[in-house]
Amino acid sequence: MAPLYIVTMENCTEEEAEIFYRACERLYEGLECDVAWVLDTTNLTRVSARQRRISADHVARTRAKLKQHVAGCGFVIPNVLIRGVLIAITWLTSSLPFPYETFDTRDEAILWARNRLNARQRERGLPGSRFGAAEDKR
């Protein structure tokens, strides 16, 4: 079954950022199914230049796995300054190797991510949806 990972991002040190991305890399090593992410930055107020580089380096190290297995990432970014961080990371990496969108709320991002997982499942010719009907209530 393809999981949807929901992560609440908070202010952290560079070391904590490295630990998070290394844990993601261990997850990708044995991955045999598609996944989607929701990264909720609602509580995030700062990201250092070094942390932006750590994120970009993670994408560079895992680009092939991300492209192969990540159906999409919904970024919950209500803060315009933090949206600028995502722009900087995509600039540092040339692009993210998976579909992504930014949202003001977690519910919107979850809906989008579930729809991306369902779409990926259809693209791969897998029967039925494992994620239930994702209904847009906007």
End-to-end CA, the chain: 28
Q: What is the pLDDT of residues 26-49, one digit of tens each?
A: 999 988 889 999 999 999 999 999
CATH class of 4-123: alpha beta
Q: What is the pTM of this model?
A: 0.86
Per domain, the residue ranges of the chain are 4-123
Which residue reads 């890399």 in tokens? Answer: 25
Neighbouring C-beta atoms of residue 98, cutoff 10 Å: 20
Q: What is the pLDDT of residues 44-100, one digit of tens each?
A: 999 999 999 999 999 999 999 999 999 999 999 999 999 999 999 999 988 899 999
